[in-house]
């Protein structure tokens, strides 16, 4: 019987070869040959070294507009392969000239980190081995390194070191994973089995976030969960833009009375416009008394908890059920790398666990531990942990503390420059690395036409920011605080110095003065 099968297989294989006219010795893997690989590899290292040696002086944005950039890459699908040299040449001719240089010391956009150099090696090495950190069998070292990094990060910020957690694409997806974990673990029926349409559901699920500083990624997470945006309560803010915790308490209690099901409060730990940290201790208390999940969105600022002099801001962070952090922001890790910590790792597993015969496989192994596909939304995953592992080893806790302190000092220096200038006003006292302020010429301080003045100032602040960014010398953006357009700098580059801040502020003054002359206020 078996003989027959083998015979048939052999004859099938011969037929197949004939039909497809390809023999064993004609198979090729089309890999790059080792000599070329080495030659190109050295050239790539030369190009990267040259890049880093000029990064501080580079024009930050491309000189081309969006249509021109689109045209550069409007290429036909390659039918025949090209040589590695030709392909890599496009890095210099097409890609670099159309890049935005987040590693510049004068890049202050969004909340974008600057990229540690050692991560370049980490990414290249991780890619060469191509482990899949989704499952232990496909990535044992990757799994253990990620586990170690999660514990180190918890240690850095004073969180429980045996917590669960994992790396994710960014803060948004980490917030999503946290919200789902919150729902799964606080609802009084099995939401995994029954979903949101269950007849066991008592009332509408509700989440709470700060009205001003709560981050939009929470809205996206709620959208992804299909909870409906109406399930988000915007809690009023105090004057310093932290969450008003008495209002929070009242809102939750009113919702409970009304038959709703509050399940998660999201506190800001370094907020997007002003970098404030909510009253974590108080929020933790409110949540634990009512069995509500306490999530700390520390995508911007949670790493600041490694600084003893800032410990007062982070009191209560250790009580959070989950914490979002973004190593690709204030740990300077290159994109992408977000992170979620969950105090009880079993709760994370309960949220994301799945199983199928093909996931368990038949490989004999003595390892019965952690498969990351059971702990997060992704199944296959890259070896992102290596760049974090190498960066933490390279800088050490002390190196990171130094870099974070430099950023905070730069924000404080900018605050002083603004305070001492007659034509600018600070919008807040910076606590971490984000600082927002406004161009406000002193001649206009007593103007009575408030509405016209505000819209004039909004326009001026936007124009100043756009004009400076267009020069390529610095990259700055605006945001809105209490309805006013403000100039906002997120100083989370490990390369920024006080001199960079002074140069940028000088430019802001010059451009402000010039535009004020060109476009005077005319009510």
Ligand X SMILES: Cc1ncc(COP(=O)(O)O)c(C=O)c1O
Residues found near ligand X in the complex (CB under 6 A): 110-111, 170-172, 175, 215, 217, 272, 297, 299-300, 326, 338
- Give one word for 158, left, alpha or beta, with left for phi > 0 and alpha for psi -120 to 50: left
Residue closer to ligand X (CB basis): 206 or 272: 272
Shortest distance (Å) from residue 503 CB to ligand X? 25
Contacts of 331 (CB under 8 A, 6+ apart): 113, 303, 325, 337, 388, 391, 400
Residue closer to ligand X (CB basis): 330 or 440: 330
Q: What is the DSSP string of 413-479?
A: HHHHHHHT-TTEEESS--SSSEEEEEE--GGGTT-S-HHHHHHHHHHHHHHHHHHHHHHTS-B-EEE
Which has the closest alpha carbon to 415: 340, 498, 357, 354?
498
- Give one word for 355, left, alpha or beta, with left for phi > 0 and alpha for psi -120 to 50: beta
Residue located via tokens 């009242």: 250
Radius of gyration for the chain, computed over Cα atoms and rounded to the nearest angstrom:
27
User: Which segments of 1-133 are extended strands (E)?
Assistant: none
3-state secondary structure of 12: helix
Contacts of 499 (CB under 8 A, 6+ apart): none
Q: Buried b / exposed e across 191-202, counting CB within 10 Å, b at 16+?
A: beeeeeeeeebe
Shortest distance (Å) from residue 265 CB to ligand X? 15
Shortest distance (Å) from residue 327 CB to ligand X? 10
Residue closer to ligand X (CB basis): 264 or 300: 300
Shortest distance (Å) from residue 68 CB to ligand X? 27
* Displacement of CA 80 from its chain's centroid (Å): 38
Residue closer to ligand X (CB basis): 32 or 216: 216
Q: What is the DSSP string of 55-70?
A: TTTS-SS-SS-HHHHH
Shortest distance (Å) from residue 490 CB to ligand X? 8
Residue closer to ligand X (CB basis): 335 or 516: 335
Shortest distance (Å) from residue 325 CB to ligand X? 10
Residue closer to ligand X (CB basis): 172 or 481: 172
3-state secondary structure of 266: strand
Rounded CA gap, 103 and 115, in Å?
A: 6
Bridge partners for 486 per DSSP? 479
Shortest distance (Å) from residue 388 CB to ligand X? 14
Shortest distance (Å) from residue 347 CB to ligand X? 21
Which has the closest alpha carbon to 136: 343, 383, 401, 316?
383
In terms of C-beta density within 10 A (0-12 exposed, 13-18 middle, 19 or more buried), how is residue 10 classed?
exposed
Residue closer to ligand X (CB basis): 261 or 427: 427
Residue closer to ligand X (CB basis): 191 or 242: 242
In terms of C-beta density within 10 A (0-12 exposed, 13-18 middle, 19 or more buried), how is residue 271 classed?
buried
What size, in residues, is the chain? 523
Residue closer to ligand X (CB basis): 112 or 469: 112
Q: Phi/psi at 35 (nearest 5 deg)?
A: -65, -45
Shortest distance (Å) from residue 463 CB to ligand X? 24
Residue closer to ligand X (CB basis): 115 or 441: 115
Residue closer to ligand X (CB basis): 110 or 473: 110
DSSP letter at 315 equals T
Shortest distance (Å) from residue 172 CB to ligand X? 3
Residue closer to ligand X (CB basis): 272 or 274: 272
Shortest distance (Å) from residue 476 CB to ligand X? 16
Rounded CA gap, 394 and 399, in Å?
A: 8
Shortest distance (Å) from residue 428 CB to ligand X? 16
């Amino acid at each position: 019987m078996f003989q027959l099968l083998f015979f048939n297989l052999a004859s099938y294989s011969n037929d197949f070869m004939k039909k497809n006219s390809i023999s064993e010795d004609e198979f090729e893997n089309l890999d790059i040959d080792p000599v070329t690989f080495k030659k190109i590899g050295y050239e790539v290292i030369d190009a990267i070294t040259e890049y880093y040696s000029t990064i501080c002086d580079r024009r930050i944005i491309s000189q081309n507009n969006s249509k021109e950039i689109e045209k550069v890459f409007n290429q036909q699908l390659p039918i025949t392969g090209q040589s590695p040299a030709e392909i890599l040449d496009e890095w210099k001719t097409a890609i670099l000239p159309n890049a935005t240089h987040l590693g510049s010391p004068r890049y202050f956009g969004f909340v974008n980190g600057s990229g540690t150099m050692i991560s370049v090696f980490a990414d290249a090495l991780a890619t060469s081995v191509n482990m899949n950190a989704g499952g232990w069998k496909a990535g044992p070292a990757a799994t253990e390194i990620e586990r170690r990094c999660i514990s180190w990060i918890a240690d850095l910020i004073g969180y429980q070191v045996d917590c669960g957690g994992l790396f994710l694409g960014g803060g948004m997806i980490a917030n999503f994973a946290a919200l789902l974990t919150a729902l799964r673990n606080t609802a009084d029926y099995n939401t995994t089995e029954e979903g949101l349409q269950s007849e066991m559901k008592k009332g509408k699920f509700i989440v709470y976030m700060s009205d001003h500083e709560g981050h939009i990624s929470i809205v996206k997470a709620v959208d992804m969960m299909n909870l409906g945006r109406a399930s988000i309560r915007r809690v009023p803010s105090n004057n310093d833009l932290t969450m008003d915790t008495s209002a929070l308490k009242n809102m939750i209690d009113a919702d409970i009375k009304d038959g709703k099901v509050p399940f998660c409060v999201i506190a800001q730990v370094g907020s997007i416009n002003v970098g404030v940290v909510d009253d974590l201790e108080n929020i933790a208390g409110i949540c634990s008394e009512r069995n509500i999940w306490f999530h700390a969105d520390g995508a911007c600022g949670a790493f600041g908890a490694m600084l003893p002099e800032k410990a007062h801001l982070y009191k209560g962070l250790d009580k959070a059920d989950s914490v979002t952090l973004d190593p690709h922001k204030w740990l300077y890790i290159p994109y992408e790398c977000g992170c979620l910590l969950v105090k009880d790792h079993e709760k994370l597993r309960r949220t994301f666990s799945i199983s199928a015969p093909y996931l368990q496989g038949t490989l004999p192994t003595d390892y019965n531990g952690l498969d990351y596909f059971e702990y997060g939304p992704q199944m296959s995953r890259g070896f992102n942990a290596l760049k974090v592992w190498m960066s933490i080893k390279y800088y050490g806790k002390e190196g990171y503390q130094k870099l974070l302190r430099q950023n905070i000092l730069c924000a404080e220096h900018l605050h002083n420059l603004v305070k001492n200038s007659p034509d600018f006003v600070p919008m807040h006292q910076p606590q971490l690395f984000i600082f927002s302020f406004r161009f406000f010429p002193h001649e206009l301080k007593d103007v009575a036409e408030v509405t016209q003045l505000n819209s004039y100032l909004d326009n001026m602040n936007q124009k100043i920011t756009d004009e400076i960014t267009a020069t390529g010398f610095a990259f700055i953006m605006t945001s809105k605080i209490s309805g006013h357009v403000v100039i906002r700098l997120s100083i989370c580059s490990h390369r920024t110095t006080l001199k960079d801040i002074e140069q940028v502020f000088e430019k802001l003054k010059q451009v402000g003065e010039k535009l004020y002359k060109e476009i005077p206020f005319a009510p």
